[in-house]
Amino acid sequence: MRRGMRTLMVLGVSGAVTVGAVVTAGAAPRHEERQREIHNVIYLLGDGMGRTHVTAARERYYGAAGKLNMERLPNYGAVATYAVEKDSDRPALVTDSASSATAWSSGVKTYNAAIGVDAYEKRVATLMEQAHRAGFATGNVSTAEITDATPAAQFSHALLRGCQGPVYSDASCLPKKADGSYEDKPADPTLITPIAEQIARNGTADVILGGGLARFEPDDQEALRAQGYQVLGSFGDPALPAQTAASQRVATKGDLAGVRRGKVVGLFNRGNLTVEQAKAKLPADAPQRQEPTLAEMTRKSLSLLDGRSKKGFLLQVEGAQIDKRSHANDAAQTLGEIKAFDDAVRAAVDFAREDGHTLVIVTADHECAGFNIIEKGSYTNAEAAAPPANADAGNPANNSTPSRPASGAKDPARSSGPVNGAGANDPKNFGPATFRTPDDPAGVQDGSPEASLWLSYLSGNHTGADVPIYAYGPGGRRFATSQNNVELYGKMYRSLFDTAPRGH
Ligand SMILES: [Zn+2]
């Protein structure tokens, strides 16, 4: 943001200042193609963040009438997230992160576990690759391993998401046939090349921040440096056959703060980054305390990408632990990670508001765990000792058998949560899943039955629920509708390139 433009933004209605007005006023032309309204796209993704995740976090942190930052954006819609079965177009109603990320990155439905390939294992171009080739600056940020499915699908291609590295194995990289044997190796060797190795060599993202250092090796660091990247920390000792925590050095937020410009790779944990609540409980000298927050990584990425290319930039930011903590049915950590993600949304919107030519999209890849807000003092039917009766005294013709196993007992195969029903009055069964909100009287504690926010999970896996989408800035209205996740690709492409992608 140049000073002259910032002054104009103050005078104009935020986001409504036209490029023409800026040029007329004599500010230095910021981008070579002045007629383009959208220069930058920031795509923020709360992994596993369903509609109710957003509601629960709003109530927890801002009260029932409050709003998260993402909810303050003017455009709101919904996204259908289903995948397809492998080698077919038949819908698989519950997606994983790999299939969903391939949908918005490349505009194709694919099978669960596929990264940057369609349902028939054909490699598909990604938006980040297309943006990079066209001269845009690019960034990919995650609180997961950077080789994990969501970031991977923008800058790698793999038949299986597990092919993260550091080394190849049939088990992690080759799909199995119906008879249990491995498929033949594909003609395109990239599709079974460890994702870390691809990322370190293809130069698709200029700014790469996240976790997953253990996926990388010293030769990856050499390859990155040869392309002009600053590599924070150390990928290890080339003399060793395999890298360990002792031979590698994770990057720190201090390292990141020292970066002023250029291409950079910062991996702040050997695995996923530490969830914010866990980080806060560690001693001050614990190495995890040196991991940046998602908001800090987002702000740094924006400062490095802004002005790097006259075209503009594409930045993807993932709050990955919302999903991972939902799988674990840890409501407290799930809520904390939604808050941390929403803080990153704030950083993106602050930038976009000042810039005026930045589209911000906030969405999710799928819902995780059937997270729900239940009535205070109640329990879910999945956990109930007896199924709910459906008897209509006014019209017995409406009576029916409950849609659950006829046994009527808690199903141990489906139900992994605390035993409710008979134990519903025992506060300790609800300890981890009740939260005070700002609306509660003083003294009401998290985990007490008096707290007003009661949360429950349906399972430890993803669900097929639609997810919310929010958008801000020029082109944001395109997203204020019910849409399919594959449509996000075309809408973002059109936003960046001001034209529709071919073949979509
Ligand atoms: Zn998941």
SS3 247: coil
Nearest CA to 501 out of 106, 42, 100, 80 is that of: 106
User: According to DSSP H, which parts of 164-287 are helical?
Assistant: 170-173, 195-202, 218-226, 253-257, 276-281
**Sheet containing 264-267, strands listed edge to edge, beginning at the edge strand earlier in sequence:** 230-231, 264-267, 207-211, 137-145, 313-319, 40-46, 358-363, 467-472, 75-80, 482-484
292 C-alpha to center of ligand 1: Å?
23
* Residue 265 dihedral angles phi and psi, to the nearest 5°: -125, 120
Cα–Cα distance list, 412 to 383, 408, 417 (Å): 9, 12, 10
- pLDDT at position 403 is 60
375 C-alpha to center of ligand 1: Å?
26
369 C-alpha to center of ligand 1: Å?
9
Cα–Cα distance list, 328 to 147, 277, 325, 459, 493 (Å): 21, 15, 5, 9, 35
d(CA 126, CA 204): 10
**Sheet containing 453-456, strands listed edge to edge, beginning at the edge strand earlier in sequence:** 372-374, 453-456, 434-435
- pLDDT at position 181 is 97
Give the other-Cβ count within 10 Å of 1's Cβ. 13
14 C-alpha to center of ligand 1: Å?
36
288 C-alpha to center of ligand 1: Å?
23
- Reported as a single tens digit per residue, the pLDDT across 171-227 is 999 999 999 999 999 999 999 999 999 999 999 999 999 999 999 999 999 999 999
d(CA 60, CA 412): 31
Contact 344, 322 (CB under 8 A): no
**Residue boundaries of the structural domains of the chain:** 35-371+461-497
353 C-alpha to center of ligand 1: Å?
32
Q: DSSP strand E in 241-389: where?
A: 264-267, 313-319, 358-363, 367-368, 372-374
What's the chain's Rg over C-alpha atoms?
Answer: 24
d(CA 116, CA 157): 4
323 C-alpha to center of ligand 1: Å?
5
- The CATH number of the structural domain formed by 35-371+461-497 is 3.40.720.10
Residues composing the chain:
504
d(CA 205, CA 313): 10
Helix-helix angle 485-497:97-106, to 10 degrees: 30
326 C-alpha to center of ligand 1: Å?
8
80 C-alpha to center of ligand 1: Å?
16
d(CA 199, CA 209): 12
Cα–Cα distance list, 247 to 237, 242, 255, 266, 270 (Å): 6, 9, 18, 16, 11
- The upper half-sphere exposure of residue 4, i.e. CA atoms within 13 Å in the direction of its Cβ, equals 10
d(CA 124, CA 470): 26
> Using CB atoms within 10 A of its CB, is residue 99 exposed (0-12), middle (13-18) or buried (19+)?
buried
Q: Which amino acid is present at 405?
A: P
For tokens 């985990």, name the residue. 447
Low-confidence ranges of the chain (pLDDT < 70): 1-35, 379-388, 401-432, 503-504
Which run of H or E residues covers position 231?
A: strand 230-231
147 C-alpha to center of ligand 1: Å?
15
Active site residue 181: no
- Spot the catalytic one: 14, 88, 97, 415: 97
Structure tokens at 327: 């799988």
d(CA 455, CA 360): 30
Longest Cα–Cα distance of the chain, Å, equals 80
Query: What is the reported pTM?
Result: 0.89
Q: What is the mean pLDDT of the chain?
A: 88
- pLDDT at position 328 is 84
Phi-psi region of 77 (alpha: psi -120 to 50; beta: other; left: phi over 0): beta
